[in-house]
Structure formats: structure tokens, C-alpha cells
A and B are shown apart, each in its own frame.
Chain A
Amino acid sequence: MTTAPFPDRPRADAREKVLGAARYGADFAIPDMLYAMQVPATVAKGRLTAVPTAAALRIPGVVRVLTATDFPPPAPAIPGAGPPPSMIVADIAYRGQPVALVVAESLEAAIEGAEAIHPVYANSPFATLINSPGAGREPAKRVTAGDANAAMARATTRHKADYVSPAQHHNPMELLSTTAHWKDGVLTVHEGTQSSNLVKGALMRNLRLNAEQVVVKSPQIGGGFGQKGSVQSQTSLVARAAMLLGRPVKMVVPRGQVFHTATFRPKSRHSIELGADASGKISAIRYDADHQASRGGQFGPDYHEHVPQMYGVADYLGTGADIRIDTQDPGYMRCPYPHPAAFAFESAVDELAFKLGEDPVAFRLKHRATVDPLNGKPLSSNFLNDCISEGARRFGWDKRGLAPGSMRLPDGTQIGWGVGCGAYPAITHVSIATLRIRADGTARFAVAGHEMGQGLRSVLTQVLVRDLAIEPTGLELAIGDTSAAPQHTTAGSWGTASGAPVAAEAAAKLNAAMIELLAGRTVAGNLHQQLAAIRRPYLEIEVSHAGPGQGVKDLAALRGGGYAIAGPEYPDFTTFSYIAHFVEVRVEPRTRRIRVPRVVSVVDCGRVISPRTAESQVRGGVIWGISAALREATDTDPRYGGWLNNDLADYVVAVNADIGDIEVGMIDKPDPQMNALGVKGLGEVAMAGVSGAVANAIFHATGKRLREMPFRIEDLL
């Protein structure tokens, strides 16, 4: 297999997206369709005692109001699998929880009907901040290597501080939505999801359907970011309505409700102590993390996902805890653990370097990791130092004054340069794919995966076009469709590391099948023309792919709709992707506005398959890192619960005018142990460490160390 870099090629679906022709979940309009709107609970905790529906039913166009009694009882538990999202139930666990679903002939009638429902609640006391009375602390498993306490005791220099990352909400342009159609005993659901397989499984369990009765289609997603990785709470409600009414039902969840029912990034606290030995290297790490959790949620405090492996430190002690309060379930939001963890850890590393009088780049370069301290296995590829060195070169780091506050413009504007690094586990999943080449010039590749704008269609196109020597125009990619191929959640940066290898294996198998079919004949032209010449309408192969250490059991799990990932620890090695970010901030002399005119980011994600979409992913991660560091936070008023700033005006994400130049560099060195193409993963690592770099740059500009995000204008006044 070739190891040459892939060429730059336009995004596979760019044209249809620009033309508005790409179809997203809510774009599917089905004849005779009804519209639904859910009614959010206005209390933070309690029990529904009555849900009067008469007023809603009087509104012209309202067809039906579904309340708790219209739904099956909770699904029976399955060992090893979490429960599917609950449907409408009488117990209120968080403010905004759906308490009724109004179905109507028009969206307007559905909204009016929903607003006419005023349930009666029996209120209960609640806790909605992690320091509220009634919050419950639940320790998680420790992460340890060596003896951090002994190493810390021997350390000659120490740094200890607490860092805080706020609650944040994903705000993809595409709102959550479900369009459900029950016809001839089959439920078809269109929705933007990164997990068509999990959605299918949840529908089967909640609505007591078998595998043949459920099809979920998610061909395009208008931004996933983990919000659409978990099964969404509205899906079963809408599907139930479609089944009860025998008509298609669509619901698009309003933005303010999305804030209340979708998962979110929980507030987290990071207490980090670093020790350095006489050689001036980090010799011990103690890291206690806790975060906000729902009462029964499964999203654990796994903030030690990348920190132990970053800098080759043998002695590590990490703890974690859930702080259970009355909110909806937090969950995965882009770069879920390394974003807050790298903010905290990269800030701490900078603070230690400053204490030691060291340049932050030189200090990091002294810490090249070769072994995973948690298991003793070698790191299969680690080009972090290349990222740092190349980034520093491009950024012009050698012109940086070491002392904080030493760089400023004539008008008094302070300039700060900061570095921050990150890593993310390289993960892969099993795939079963079919590839069909037709004589008419078209082809179809059906495989697990979801296109959420990250570029999976571009990645698959790159590999198939190269290995099959066909044109991309006639190539249909059937992804995100449970009726096309066994589907797997697309998240955790494993899409390319799973999809690209199986595409390459499919192409190789098809090419081999063609050679066999030709049986020694020499036929001119490409595959389509060869098939036409020998009068075969098509040639199809099926192929399965497994990651290192994966096998029959994992393929069976995939076929059963389950989860089958491996990594970052594999039988013989551990693998991460790495990135180094260099950030310039400027702080205005009087108003203390913080501006970010330029960023250089250099990434080691193994082989880059689609340079265009890969660079776009890194830019997106950098922008989000800046936005997270300087702007984004969701506020709760503990007297009421729920979320206060639940729209795009008051949940402040960065705008174009906040973002300067972002230069992206790719190391583009394959990791051949990971897979034959050498792909690791990119989407998540892109954001890891950006916020730390911003914090470090602000310190360099002003001499003030900010340890709680977001850093706002008032923090520097």
C-alpha cells in the first residue's frame, strides 16, 4: 500500500451544501405529515400531579396530546448497556424535561397547543450548582502510575493550583430534530445523529420493536460535536406519536429547549500539583478532577484521558469525582475531557516552567514521552516535539521576550505569546462494508459512519478514487443509514481511522475480484469500462475491517447494533494524536479587551487523508478553543435551575470578527501500527490545548494568571 501523502481535493459534498441541496434530518417532508412540540417542565424537580390537556385540544389543528400514560413503561434493563433515554414520565428530574407532546396539523398549532398546557407539579427541593446543598459527591476510580506521592516528596520545585472550566453547551447550527414514519410495520426515522445504530437500539427497546422494524437515516449532520452522539430524548417521543397516529410526525426542538434537554459540557474543577526534580524536569503529577453530573448519568470524570502520557512522567496520581445535582445528563462535547484537562494542565506546566525560569517551549521539548506510564507499552508514534518545534518556527517564537509584560505596542497594548499542547487517544472501530462498481459508471460504498461536516465523505472519496482509479462524480456513499450497512457511532475522532482503512481494504478486494473476473484477459479502460466490456452490470464485494486486537467478537457486536471500539491501548502499543498551538493575544491598554490576532497550530494525526477538510477541522477546533477560553459559559440561577442564557444571543460564541489568522501545519507521518494507511485521528485533538495557550498568552501579556474560564474583560481590569 502506498504511503504517499494524499492530494488536496475539494470537499466531496461542498457543491451540494453550497447549493442547499444536501438533505439534513429535518429536510425530509413526508406527505400527510404532522408537527409536534414538546412541553418543558417549569420546575427543577418534582412530580407531575396533573397535565390538563383540554385547552390545547381546543386549538384548531391540534390532533393529539401525548402525556406520560401514552408511553410504554421504561425499557427492561440489559446487562452492560445503559438505559435508553426515558420517555415522558411523571417524575421531573430537571427543569425543561418534556412533560407532554402536542401533535398538530401545523407547527404553529403545535406551538400554541404546547403553550396552552400548564401542568400541575408537586415540587421537591433541588440542587443545581456543584456547591449547592444537596449535591452528592461520588468518587471515581483512580488513575495511577509509579508512586506520585513519593516522587512529589522528592521534588525540588512544586506548583499547585486549581483551575475551573464552566458548563458549556454545543450550539451546532442544526437543531435537534426527529421525523418519524410508521408504515407497514416499519418505523423509519430521519434525524441528525452521530449514532444511527444507538438510535435504532433505543427505539427498539423503548417501543418494543425488533431489528427489522426500525430504520434510522442520518446522511448529513449540521454539526454534531458530541451533542448528537448520544441518543436524543425527543426521538422516542416523536416515534411513539407517529406509531399511535399512523401518520408521519416531525419535531424540530427549539434552541432554548435544546439547552435544557440535550447533553452539555459539565462544569469541572481541576486541582493540579506538579513537582520538578533537580534536573528541572517534571517528576510527579497529582491531579484531582471533579465535575457536575446528573443524578443518574453515566458521563464519568475521565479527565486523565491524555495527561499521564503527555510528557513522559513516570509517577502519576489522578482522582476524579462526580458531583451529582439536578440537571439533565452532561455528556460529550468536542474534545470532552482533554479540552478542560489540557487547559488546566498546560496552564500548570507553564506556571511550573515560569517558576523554574524556563522558556515554555524549551521546557516542553525536554519531556518527550516514549512509553505509556499506565501500562508500560511503547507509544507507537509521538511527533509532539515535531509539532512544537515546527509551530515555534512558524510562529517566530525565538523573538519572544521571556518576561511577562515585556512585549507591548507604542499605545500601551500588551502582547502575549503562549503555547499549549494536547493529545487525544487514537481509537478505531470495526466495520463491515459493501462496495459495488457498476458498468454504467456509478459506484456505491455502504459503510458505518456519519458525515457531520468533519469530512468523512471526503475521506472515503479520497481513498476510493485513488485505489479504484475512478471518478468521484458517480460515487454514492451510503453512510449513517442502518439499512445500508451496520452502523457505528461516529465520535471520538475514530471516523477516519475506521472508515479510511475499510475503504482501502474494500478497494483492494474489489480490484482483486476484478482481476479474477477478467481471468487473464486484457481489457482496456477503468473498472466501469471493463465491466461494460465483459457485459457484467456490476461487481460487488463485502469486506470487514478490525482494528489492532479486534476480531470476531467485535464484528458480532457491530452486527448486533453495539459498540466495538479499541484504543488508545492496543495489544502491543498505545497511540495518541498530538497538537501544539501557538497563540498571540493583545490586551488593550484601557478597556482591557482581549484580542487574538493569530494562531499557529501543528498537528500529528498520522497520515492525513483529506487535507482540505482536515485543515478545516483544525481551524474549527482552534476557533472553539478561543471561544471556550474567552466567551462560552452557560449560567444557572440556583433559585430556579435550568439554564439562563439559552439562546445564541446570550450564550456567547465567537464571531468571525473575534478570530484572526489561523495557520495549520500537518506533520503527516503515518502510524503504520495503527492501520495500513497510518491514520490516527484529528477532530478532537484539534481543540486540545488551545485554551491553555490562550491562558498562557494572557499571562505573558499581562503577568496575570487566569485560572477560571471564560476569561472576560472584567478579569483584566
Chain B
Amino acid sequence: MHAFSYARPENALAAVQAFAAAGPGARYIAGGTTLYDLMKLGIEKPEHLVDVTAVPGLDTIETAGGHLRFGALAPMSAVAANETVHREYPVLAESLARAASQQLRNMATVGGNLLQRTRCIYFRNGAGSTSTGNIYPCNKREPGTGCAAIGGQDRGQAVLGQSAACTAVSPGDWPVALVALDAHVEVLGAGGARSIPIAALYRLPGDTPDLEFTLQPGELITAIVVPKTPIGRLSTYYKVCDRESLAFALTSAAVAVELDGGVVKQARIALGGVATRPWRATAAEVSLTGQKLTPETALAAGRAAFAGAKAGRDNGFKIDLGARTVADALILAAGRTSA
């Protein structure tokens, strides 16, 4: 842990200005559930923290208009418990409720959650902090040093979207659900405000796995906007982990279906736990359209979702398990008809 300075501006513009003034060593902080963790691990060493929790109005949840609009500072637990979200968009509520612990969900914000960093054990445990003492090469942490996960213990690593430089999984649940529902992210930066499709927020690792997001330096996430859609009702976030709570996904699927007499008019499928970014499985969606939803077609869609997957040493099971996870999720989502 290193000394840092700290400011807590009282409006969003002041926060952006404070960040710009502080230079490249600055970080925004809200709930702190991920940043403090990374600081203790020696991965993040900010010189200046801009605490945005005093910015008014950033934690509102609006469900009245044509969109769902979640202020970036809304706690995960508040969005998960929102009645409209719970009833009309179970995929969103479940993606939040199945993440972390109640205590963390009370602190963590839905905006900050979008920027959670990977759980790759070589990335997390290799920075040489006194909490572990381990040192591992990692292109994401220290560009150009190599990747210890490639050729190492890779049971948790990605089977989709990995590169020769990095196989680290994008860890979130909430971003996966948002990708399935075509959400947008509103950000504020030195150049003003802009809106980014959620899928475009995340980069593939390629040769630069240290660059994970498309945010410009100093850009602050202010809100997440989800277009309202009836497809949200028949939806679920299905997550398979090494234990039933307090765990990141081995495989997960955010799915939503629109049915007409058992036939799929439209499907949304996004994958978590298996890819280097929240992964929309468009081919799987297309494969289902016009099909009767049965355990067989659901599994076929799952297989289609992993058609391009590539296994490492220990993580090949994720390709099979991921397909099955999609299948179970589809059946679960469709089952909400009768509820």
C-alpha cells in the first residue's frame, strides 16, 4: 500500500476536472470494493483518488420512461431489489443478486462494477504485494512481460476472445446481462458527455491486454441506460460456479426470449465466465429464431454459442459446460411464461 492523496468533489464536472488536474496517477473511486482490493494486491497504485460518492443525483434509478436509467452510483443491491427491474427484467436483477456477497453489493455501484478487473490468479496474485508475495509475469499488469496463465494453471481462463498475449476472463455478471439487453453507458469527460453501447466499452485483449476499456482517460461513467423491451420478462441470468454463492462464474448465460406458441421469435444470449469480454452470442440467437424451444434446440443454440471456442490446458470443460449453461438458461427463461 502506498500513500495517495484524496479528494471528494461535490459535482460531476468538478470530479472530471480534479481527475484531469491530478494526471495519469488518478483513479475514480466509488464503493471501493474492487479498487481497494487491487491496491492491497499491489496491482493498482494510484497517486490520487477522486471519490465521486458526494456527487448528487448519480445514484437514482429511473424506470418510468422508455428506458431504464441507472445512475452509476446506485448500489448493486438497490438495482437488484428494484421492483420494476425484478419483475420486468429478471436477467438484470439476477445478474446483480448472484454476484459477490450482500455486504459487497451494498457497497459496490453499478457503474463501478462495469470496470471490475479480471480474476486471473496470475494477474491478481503476482504483483509482489506483502499480501501474497508472489511474482508472476502478466501482460495485462506489466505489458511485455509475458503471460503466466498460458502454459500454466488455466482452469479459470477464457475459451473465447483470448489472444497470444492474454487469456484472462472478463469477470462480471452485470455487464453480461447489459450486453444481452443492448444497454448504453453514459460518460462524462473533459470533452463533454457521450454515450457508448455497452459492448463497445470492452476491448479484446489482442496485443494490448493492459487496455481493457474504451473510456478516454478521466472519463467518468455517470449512468447505464437500458432500452425497455418486452423480451426482458422471459429472461434469466444463469450462473454456474465452484460454489453456490460468493463466487465468480465458471460459465454463465444471460438470456431472454420472445416466444410465440413455443416458437422463438427473438432470442438474446450473452456469455460470462468464458470470454475476455462480455460476450454476445449472436450466432446462437440466430440459430434459435423460428425454432420451437426444446431441450434439444436449446442445447444446439448453446453449442452454436461456443462454435469458435478454443480450449487451453485445463479449461476445455468450459466449452461443454457453457453450452449446457446456455441450454438450461433458455429453458428457465421460457419457463417464466407460466409464472
22 pairs across A/B with beta carbons < 8 Å? A38-B130, A39-B133, A40-B132, A42-B133, A96-B133, A112-B2, A114-B130, A115-B42, A635-B153, A637-B148, A637-B152, A637-B153, A644-B153, A645-B121, A646-B132, A649-B246, A650-B121, A650-B124, A655-B245, A658-B243, A658-B244, A717-B321
Q: How long is the Cα–Cα vector from A712 to B315 in the complex, in angstroms?
A: 12
Stretch at the interface among A16-24, A251-259, A264-272, A486-494: A251-259
A306 at the interface (CB under 8 A from B): no
A639 at the interface (CB under 8 A from B): yes
- Docked-complex contact A655 and B243, CB < 8 angstroms: yes
Q: Smallest Cβ distance from B78 to chain A, in angstroms?
A: 22
Q: What 1/0 flags go to B319-336 for Cβ under 8 Å of A?
A: 011001101100000000
Known interface pairs A114-B130, A639-B152; A717-B317 also in contact (CB < 8 Å): yes
Q: Smallest Cβ distance from B263 to chain A, in angstroms?
A: 22
Which residues of A, 639-655, contact B by the 8 Å Cβ criterion?
A: 639-640, 642, 644-647, 649-650, 652-655
Contact residues in B for A408 (Cβ distance below 8 Å): none
Majority SS of interface residues in chain B? loop
Known: A115-B1, A590-B324, A590-B328. 20 other contacts (CB 8 A): A115-B2, A115-B130, A254-B130, A257-B131, A257-B132, A257-B133, A259-B132, A591-B321, A591-B324, A591-B325, A592-B324, A631-B243, A637-B153, A639-B148, A639-B152, A640-B134, A640-B136, A646-B134, A655-B247, A717-B320
B23 at the interface (CB under 8 A from A): no
Pick from A255, A591, A642, A714: contact of B134, CB below 8 A: A642
A-B interface, 8 closest residue pairs, ranked by CB to CB distance from nearest = A40-B133, A256-B132, A714-B317, A657-B244, A254-B131, A590-B324, A114-B130, A256-B131
B99 at the interface (CB under 8 A from A): no
Q: How long is the Cα–Cα vector from A41 to B132 in the complex, in angstroms?
A: 10
B135 at the interface (CB under 8 A from A): yes
- Docked-complex contact B321 and A713, CB < 8 angstroms: yes
Q: Smallest Cβ distance from A73 to chain B, in angstroms?
A: 25
Chain B interface residue number, banded: 35 or more
Q: How long is the Cα–Cα vector from A492 to B272 in the complex, in angstroms?
A: 45
Q: How long is the Cα–Cα vector from A38 to B2 in the complex, in angstroms?
A: 17
B242 at the interface (CB under 8 A from A): yes
Which residues of B, 235-270, contact A by the 8 Å Cβ criterion?
A: 240, 242-248, 250
Contact residues in B for A148 (Cβ distance below 8 Å): none
- Docked-complex contact A591 and B119, CB < 8 angstroms: no
Contact residues in B for A114 (Cβ distance below 8 Å): 130
A108 at the interface (CB under 8 A from B): yes
A37 at the interface (CB under 8 A from B): yes
Pick from B124, B130, B133: contact of A111, CB below 8 A: B130
Q: What 1/0 flags go to A13-51 for Cβ under 8 Å of B?
A: 000000000000000000000000111111000000000
Contact residues in A for B163 (Cβ distance below 8 Å): none
Q: How long is the Cα–Cα vector from A114 to B132 in the complex, in angstroms?
A: 12
Contact residues in A for B1 (Cβ distance below 8 Å): 108, 111-112, 115
Q: How long is the Cα–Cα vector from A245 to B245 in the complex, in angstroms?
A: 46
Task: Give the nearest-CB partner of B316 in chain A.
Answer: A714
A593 at the interface (CB under 8 A from B): yes
Task: Give the nearest-CB partner of B302 in chain A.
Answer: A590
Q: What 1/0 flags go to A268-293 for Cβ under 8 Å of B?
A: 00000000000000000000000000
Q: Smallest Cβ distance from A589 to chain B, in angstroms?
A: 9
B64 at the interface (CB under 8 A from A): no
A545 at the interface (CB under 8 A from B): no
B66 at the interface (CB under 8 A from A): no
Q: Smallest Cβ distance from A327 to chain B, in angstroms?
A: 14
Task: Give the nearest-CB partner of B324 in chain A.
Answer: A590
Q: How long is the Cα–Cα vector from A306 to B305 in the complex, in angstroms?
A: 51
A260 at the interface (CB under 8 A from B): yes
- Docked-complex contact B242 and A652, CB < 8 angstroms: yes
Which residues of A, 284-325, contact B by the 8 Å Cβ criterion?
A: none
Task: Give the nearest-CB partner of A43 in chain B.
Answer: B135
Q: Smallest Cβ distance from B238 to chain A, in angstroms?
A: 9
Contact residues in B for A619 (Cβ distance below 8 Å): none
Q: Smallest Cβ distance from A237 to chain B, in angstroms?
A: 14
Q: Smallest Cβ distance from A641 to chain B, in angstroms?
A: 9
- Docked-complex contact A714 and B121, CB < 8 angstroms: no
A95 at the interface (CB under 8 A from B): yes
Contact residues in A for B320 (Cβ distance below 8 Å): 717
Contact residues in B for A260 (Cβ distance below 8 Å): 132-133
Q: How long is the Cα–Cα vector from A293 to B244 in the complex, in angstroms?
A: 33
Q: How long is the Cα–Cα vector from A644 to B133 in the complex, in angstroms?
A: 11
Task: Give the nearest-CB partner of B250 in chain A.
Answer: A713
Q: How long is the Cα–Cα vector from A42 to B121 in the complex, in angstroms?
A: 16
Q: Smallest Cβ distance from A67 to chain B, in angstroms?
A: 16
Contact residues in A for B135 (Cβ distance below 8 Å): 42, 640
Q: Smallest Cβ distance from A50 to chain B, in angstroms?
A: 17
Pick from A41, A635, A650, A653: contact of B133, CB below 8 A: A41
Task: Give the nearest-CB partner of A110 in chain B.
Answer: B130
Q: Smallest Cβ distance from B245 to chain A, in angstroms?
A: 5
B144 at the interface (CB under 8 A from A): no
